[in-house]
Chain A
Amino acid sequence: MIVLTGVLTGISAALLGSFLILRGNAMLTDAISHSIVFGIIVVWLLTGQTSGPVQVLGAAITGVLTVILSELLARSKLVKMDAAIGLVFPALFAAGVILISINARNVHLDVDSVLLGEIGFVWLNTVALFGVDVPVAVATLGAVLVVNLTFVLVLWKELKLATFDAGLAAALGFLPGVLHYAILTLTSVTAVAAFDAVGAILFIAFVVVPPATAYLLTRRLWLMVMLAVGFAVAAVISGYFLALHWNVSIGGMMASMTGVWFALALLFAPAQGLVAQALRARTERLDHDCRALVAHLFTHQDTPAMAEENTLRALVSHLRWTAPRARAAVLRAHDRDLIERRDGLLCLRPKGTAEVEAIFGRSNA
């Protein structure tokens, strides 16, 4: 059941997170997930409920309010947007923490659980559903997941358009502004529903990291969303078992695992990974050296200096290449059938001549 809670959180968050990442709104999640703490405590003070639909909606309003306040503040031109976000959410969060401290005696909300969540305790609060006792968190998160999934599936086309070309979406009458707030409202709702399980801050990991990981692997939106969901689920399951194994925080471990998947993708993604980038840079450098090499050979071919110039040693002494670099370039040029060794000299093959002509233009040839 703990894993189920995590999976529900992960999928809900990844669905919305994909769009937030692409829209450049990732840090608004940060703001929302902090300031809902204020909403949660205020709703509790007013209604005495710590979970359920009233709590979810009430606290979600605080999240949206944070975004609206930040945007208003930024629009006044007195502070920049990043500073505006950084002013509003700590203030609301601080107010929330103080309210909790003041009412500490009669709340079973405490500061640590707000921040960190305790997914292990989902069983403490259950509700009967179709005759079966399920944790409240699971029921809430399930409902949230259905809402998020419906939202994304029904408005897929609109979301896609508004995300990649807000101007066109507006011109076609799709109201990108409304969609913007709809996404942020759902993010707030999801954050509130998830905060029992993973806490305010770890929720950010579920929203931001799996979609970012997916983004490193693909450029197709539907594939990105699917991959994001997949990484979220993988992080939840692997995190759960590692946490049991090492006896550490389950939520923390799940969020850490999203980071592990991201690090792996960052290193080994086929096209954008750091390893692929390094390999590509190496190939490019080698090919560039090949071009310099064939150009050099072509310049001196059939000249008196040929015996001296068209050798490996000349590359080192005249082109100031290091010996390994020269050897690698010669080998690479050999492999690509650009040059051959004739009478101890390096000579152009037809393909090499063609390459030179491509560089200098045919008129010189």
Chain B
Amino acid sequence: MTAIIDLFSSDIVQTVLIGAALLGAISGMLGAFAVLRRQSLLGDALSHAALPGVCLGFLIAGGRDLGSVMVGAFATGALAALVMMLIVRRTSLKTDAALGIVLSVFFAVGIVLLTVIQTQGGSGSLGLMTFLFGQAAAILRSDLWVMGGVGLVALLLVLAFWKEFKLVSFDAAFARAQGFPVTALEAVLTVMVALAIVVGLQLVGVVLMVALLIAPAAAARQWTNSLGGMVVLSAAIGAASGAGGALVSATTRGLATGPVVVLIATGIVMVSLLIAPGRGLVWQATAARRARARISDGRVLATLQGFAQMHDDAGYPSERGMLQVALGVKPPAATLASLESRGLIRSVTHPPETTPHWELTKAGHSEAAALSGQPETRQRTT
């Protein structure tokens, strides 16, 4: 226990945790918009495209300086976004091809620059490799201010343009018709995705950055239908994954932070997909089973009602075999049991036969009538 307290009070661990949580929160917040606008894979392309910028920033600054690396990453990321737009608008190539081209070519250039740096043999070239997979432990206390600043800018932008972003995310055509500068707003959102990537590179690296954008947002989407709720929840999940990943990676030797963060976020997504109320798979399965049971109940009731009408006897006892012939399938015992427990049918015997028979109760008659939408069978007093 004291070991854990020692761990948390350590200055480095605090820095790493705060940094990781901050990065996760920013990515989560901005990722929500990317996912809603179906631009998830744009994040992937832009994050790969940030690599040459990282290398350039490194080459120009002559070392691992967070400021210049971030500026470089942002510059090539934005350039990649522009090239993407150019290809999609001016050629007949589809979006996916444009994404693939930008992603792979920019990354290839980044790899070439990486080898340039390595042959120069700078002392920090190892530090550069951490940009591929992220290394939360490399976050310095001074870096926190930069990240905090970027996060604040992103937050202010989101708050300032909340209404516009909401409209563009959900109905861009309507926004255009209303006279909003949709292209400019989309550009701002894309720039913010690039910003999130630039900030997140430290934590998860260029290759896995896309997961930090998508996973928190996809998980948050399952729990809420409101944009505000989704953005806040997404930021919270991002922060939790970031901090959790940083903690695991810092306490285990040789584990890069990025993969751990991504697996934690993916775990949260899987849980959300399964159990989120109203949308989750478990929820869906339960609803489907209920619906099936309701239909099955209804068919049994209707069949019993039919027999009763046919014989002009409200208490007509029907045998299971008769139900089977009428329904085409054997009525499930569970259905009969549940109907009986709800007081809609009654198990009776019909001497001299020994097999169980069922008749509709009064409640059963009204239920069957309600289901079929027909007036209740005239009850013959017995």
Contacts and interface: CB of A to CB of B under 8 A. Distances in A.
Interface of A: 21, 24-27, 29-30, 34, 73, 76, 78-80, 82-83, 85-87, 90-91, 93-95, 97-98, 101-102, 104, 111-112, 115-116, 201-202, 204-205, 207-209, 212, 215-216, 243, 246-249, 251-256, 258-259, 262, 266, 272, 274, 277
A76 B273 contact: yes
A251 B111 contact: yes
A216 B86 CA distance: 14
B95 to A, nearest CB: 8
A313 B120 CA distance: 65
A97 B129 CA distance: 14
B109 A87 contact: no
Contacts of A201: 48, 103-104, 107, 207
Contacts of A111: 132-133, 256
Interface in B97-120: 97, 99-101, 103-112, 114-116, 119
Contacts of A266: 86-87, 91
Interface string B260-303: 10110010010001000001110000000000000000000000
Interface stretch (B20-28, B151-159, B213-221, B224-232): B213-221
Contact of A94 (B218, B266, B279): B266
A198 to B, nearest CB: 9
Contacts of A204: 100, 103-104
B96 A116 contact: no
Contacts of B112: 243, 246, 248-249, 252-253, 256
B255 A98 contact: yes
Query: 7 tightest A-B contacts by CB?
Result: A259-B105, A252-B111, A255-B108, A90-B211, A205-B104, A208-B100, A94-B259
B258 interface: yes
A205 B105 contact: yes
7 contacts: A27-B41, A30-B44, A90-B207, A94-B263, A116-B111, A202-B107, A262-B101
A93 B48 CA distance: 15
Contact of A83 (B106, B133, B218, B258): B218
Contacts of B108: 202, 205, 251-256, 258-259
Contact of B211 (A91, A101, A202): A91
Interface string B228-264: 0000000000000000000000000011101110110
B70 interface: no
Contacts of B273: 73, 76, 78-79
Contacts of A208: 97, 100-101, 104
Contacts of B263: 91, 94-95, 98
Contacts of B101: 208-209, 212, 259, 262
A248 B104 contact: no
A216 B109 contact: no
B39 interface: yes
B177 interface: no
A243 B119 CA distance: 13
Contact of B218 (A87, A253, A256, A274): A87
Contacts of B110: 252
Contacts of B92: 215, 272
Nearest to A99: B259
Nearest to A272: B91
A98 B266 CA distance: 14
Interface in B127-143: 129, 132-133
Contacts of A27: 41, 44, 96, 99-100
